[in-house]
């Protein structure tokens, strides 16, 4: 694969559109058009078996009646499954519901250990990368190299299924062994959502730089809590401070691979004792006084705080557009701004360029459990995945809730969000970020997050946090280098 030059990365000026509502506008093909294309776009006949799927966000709601507790009723995956079964009489598709009281990864691990895992499972690629040696997941690369029979001739995917998906966010899903284990169906990105009424009353405008962001929060302190929480912006701060090292750590540009980041840790190019990392600590700590008092509490409902006007700003993902638009209780004007840029005036390590956009193919990532092999239905499972990801079907599913952007070519998005979509699919985003947490193993990532929280809560000093984090970075690097045979010379 030719890596996209970092110089051609589209910075995300277009990501700060005010109050736009995410809604893909691809409509289902008319029945007549579907009938006409049936011969050309039908899957392999004779698919039989009982296929179980758990699809997280796209799992149908219990009711299709909209209300305060069910703002986005949806069932399109059931509709698509029913259509698939009608075309494949020997196949049944069973949609599994995960208990609400179980965390997703905890549930997946339990189901895998018990041999009761569904065949198709929503999971994170950064979980899978730590589970490759457990033989839980089937590599998808051989299937990606084959045509998708549900795509029209001449369209992306008609000769090679992988060509349906946007290259950069999809390449970022490769595991440490270079293989794909998830089908990345849609995309997300992040924004700062803000109460425009509160800003207008205070005579404030959306900030564009870190310094302006501090000034805005200071001005809001007398009237409200300025900001609900600190989320993905923390990693973007790190990325902006390490920008001068990008060409050294990732010399050929493009996606910062797990190998490149691991070797940077091993070779001392990315260390918690770096001066850049020290300034990262400083700038993050400066933001803490402006957050909600329970910002570190597990289970805090920051969306509710924003809806109840207890906080002025709420950093969240593109999925929030659909929910805010659908919520009848939203009685204020809201808008968005993009991650404030760290300038040379804010830090000597900054180069004044906008932060890479957070996001990519981190929403609907559907993996194929090895239980599918044991049950002898790999052809059926792969065929169903191809059916769902065909634009005429994926478009209906993604657009139904309006919460995610498509990672499938040929599925349109609301014109207001074309720039964010282009920034994620044509630019590097988090895929090029050395500082993004996904670039290290789950065990070390979770421990590092806890240390950062302790630092922000003054439980540990900056020096103590740096020392602890550095030990974990090196621990991960040593383990990954040995396990994957990386050459860091």
| CATH value of 29-184+365-403 in 3.40.50.300, 3.40.50.280, 3.40.190.10, 3.40.50.460 | 3.40.190.10
pLDDT at 347: 97
Tokens read off for 132: 């490759």
The reported pLDDT for the residue numbered 8 is 34
Instruction: Please list, residue by residue across 444-473, b when 16 or more beta carbons sit within 10 angstroms of its beta carbon and e when fewer do.
Output: bbebbeebbebbbeeebeeeebbebbbebb
Residues carrying CATH 3.40.190.10, the chain: 29-184+365-403, 192-359+434-484
* Cβ-based neighbour number of residue 264 at 10 Å: 23
**How do strand 186-195 and strand 359-360 relate by DSSP bridges?**
antiparallel
At residue 45, the pLDDT reads 52
pLDDT of 122: 97
Contact 195, 334 (CB under 8 A): yes
Which tokens is 451 given? Answer: 């240390």
Q: How far apart are CA 271 and CA 469, in angstroms?
A: 8
Q: Taking Cα atoms as reference points, which of 143, 190, 185, 188 lies closest to residue 396?
A: 185
List all residues 6 or more positions away from 351 whose beta carbon is below 8 Å from its beta carbon. 240, 243, 244, 344
Structure-token match 């402006």, residue found:
290
Kindly list the averaged pLDDT for each block of 10 residues, start to end, along the chain of length 489: 34 35 33 36 66 97 88 94 96 96 94 97 93 96 98 97 93 91 92 95 96 98 96 95 92 84 95 97 98 94 95 92 82 93 96 86 91 96 98 94 88 70 72 86 93 98 97 96 92
pLDDT (0 to 100) of residue 37: 36
Q: Are 414 and 212 in contact (CB under 8 A)?
A: no
Residue 155 pLDDT = 97
d(CA 434, CA 352): 18
pTM of the model: 0.73
**Residue 44: its pLDDT value, please?**
53
Q: β-strands 225-227, 49-54: how paired?
A: unpaired
Architecture of domain 192-359+434-484: 3-Layer(aba) Sandwich (3.40)
pLDDT score of 63:
94
R_g of the chain, CA atoms, integer Å: 23
């Amino acid at each position: 694969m030719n890596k996209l030059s970092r110089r051609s990365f589209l910075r995300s000026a277009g990501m700060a559109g005010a109050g736009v509502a995410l809604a893909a506008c691809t409509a289902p093909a008319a029945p007549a058009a579907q009938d006409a294309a049936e011969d050309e776009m039908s899957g392999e006949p004779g698919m039989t078996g009982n296929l179980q799927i758990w699809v997280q966000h796209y799992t149908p709601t219990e009711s299709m009646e909209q209300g305060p507790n069910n703002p986005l009723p949806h069932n399109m995956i059931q509709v698509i499954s029913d259509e698939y079964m009608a075309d494949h009489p020997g196949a049944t598709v069973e949609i599994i519901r995960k208990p609400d009281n179980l965390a997703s990864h905890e549930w997946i691990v339990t189901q895998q250990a018990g041999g009761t895992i569904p065949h198709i499972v929503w999971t994170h690629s950064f979980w899978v990368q730590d589970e490759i040696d457990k033989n839980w997941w089937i590599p998808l690369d051989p299937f990606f190299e084959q045509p998708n029979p549900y795509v029209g001739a001449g369209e992306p995917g008609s000769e090679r299924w992988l060509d349906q998906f946007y290259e950069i966010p999809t390449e970022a899903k490769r595991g440490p062994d270079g293989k794909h284990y998830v089908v990345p169906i849609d995309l997300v990105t992040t924004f700062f959502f803000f109460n425009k009424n509160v800003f207008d009353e205070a005579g404030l405008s959306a900030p564009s730089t870190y310094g302006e962001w501090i000034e805005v929060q200071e001005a809001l302190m007398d009237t409200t809590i300025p900001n609900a929480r600190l989320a993905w912006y923390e990693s973007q701060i790190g990325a902006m401070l390490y920008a001068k090292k990008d060409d050294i750590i990732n010399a050929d540009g493009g996606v910062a691979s797990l190998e490149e980041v691991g070797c940077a840790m091993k070779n001392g190019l990315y260390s918690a004792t770096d001066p850049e990392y020290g300034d990262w600590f400083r700038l993050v700590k400066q933001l803490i006084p402006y957050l909600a008092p329970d910002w570190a509490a597990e289970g805090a409902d920051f969306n509710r705080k924003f809806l109840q006007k207890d906080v002025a700003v709420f950093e969240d993902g593109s999925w929030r557009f659909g929910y805010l638009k659908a919520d009848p209780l939203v009685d204020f004007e809201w808008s968005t701004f993009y991650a404030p840029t760290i300038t040379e005036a804010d830090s000597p390590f900054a180069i004044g360029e906008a932060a890479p956009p957070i996001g990519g193919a981190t929403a609907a990532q559907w993996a194929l459990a090895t239980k599918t092999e044991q049950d002898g239905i790999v052809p059926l499972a792969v065929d169903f995945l191809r059916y769902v990801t065909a634009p005429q079907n994926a478009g209906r599913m993604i657009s139904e809730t309006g919460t995610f952007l498509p990672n499938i070519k040929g599925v349109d998005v609301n014109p207001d969000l074309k720039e964010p979509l282009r920034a994620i699919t044509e630019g590097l985003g988090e895929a090029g970020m050395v500082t993004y947490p996904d670039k290290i193993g789950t065990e070390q990532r979770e421990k590092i997050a806890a240390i950062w929280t302790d630092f922000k809560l003054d439980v540990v000093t900056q020096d103590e946090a740096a020392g602890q984090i550095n030990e974990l970075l090196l621990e991960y690097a040593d383990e990954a280098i040995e396990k994957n045979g990386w050459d860091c010379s």
